[in-house]
A and B are shown apart, each in its own frame.
Chain A
Amino acid sequence: MSWRPSAAYSMLKARASLVAGLRQFLSGRGSLEVDVPAISAAPASDIWIDSFEIRDPDGQPQGYLLSSPETYLKRLLAVYAEPMHALVKAYRANEHGLKHATEFTMLEWYRPANKDVFATMVQDISDLVVLFTAFGAPRVVTYRELFEAQFGLNPHTVTLPELTDCAISVLGPGAIDSQNLDSMLSILFATDIEPHLVNHIVIDFPVVQASLSRVEADSFGDFVAKRAELYLLGIEIANGYYELTDVDEQQLRFINDEGRRIEFRRPVVPRDEPLLQALRHGLPESYGVALGVDRLLMVITGNQRLAKCMTFGEVQ
Chain B
Amino acid sequence: MASISTSGFKSGLKVLIDGDPCSIVENEFVKPGKGQAFSRVKVKNLKTGRVVDKTYKSGDSLEAADVIDLDMDFLYADGEFYHFMMTDGSFEQYAADANAVGDVLKWLKEQETYIVTLFNGAPLVVTPPNHIELQVQQTDPGIKGDTAQGGSKPATLSTGAVVSVPLFIEEGEMLRVDTRSGDYVSRAGKK
Contacts and interface: CB of A to CB of B under 8 A. Distances in A.
Chain A interface size range: 20 to 34
Contact of A100 (B31, B53, B54): B31
A236 B28 CA distance: 15
Given A95-B31, A97-B31, A187 B38 contact: yes
B34 A98 contact: no
B86 interface: no
Nearest to B27: A97
A6 to B, nearest CB: 17
Interface in A165-214: 171-172, 174-178, 182-183, 186-187, 189-191, 209, 211
B29 A191 contact: no
A209 B30 contact: no
A48 interface: yes
B134 to A, nearest CB: 40
A55 interface: no
A49 interface: yes
A182 B35 contact: yes
B28 A189 contact: no
Best-buried of A49, A175, A209 by chain B (most CB within 10 Å): A175
A159 interface: no
B28 A186 contact: no
B40 interface: yes
Interface in A69-113: 94-100
A272 interface: no
A191 B55 contact: yes
B55 A95 contact: no
A307 to B, nearest CB: 13
A98 to B, nearest CB: 7
B77 interface: no
Nearest to A185: B35
Interface in B23-82: 28-38, 40, 52-58
B99 interface: no
Given A46-B34, A94-B7, A183 B57 contact: yes
B137 to A, nearest CB: 45
Nearest to A189: B32
A172 B52 contact: yes
Contacts of B57: 176-178, 183
A236 B35 CA distance: 12
B153 to A, nearest CB: 44
B38 A95 contact: no
Interface in A35-72: 46, 48-49
16 contacts: A46-B34, A94-B37, A94-B58, A100-B31, A171-B53, A171-B55, A176-B55, A176-B57, A177-B57, A178-B57, A186-B35, A187-B55, A190-B30, A190-B38, A236-B32, A236-B33
Interface of B: 7, 18, 28-38, 40, 52-58
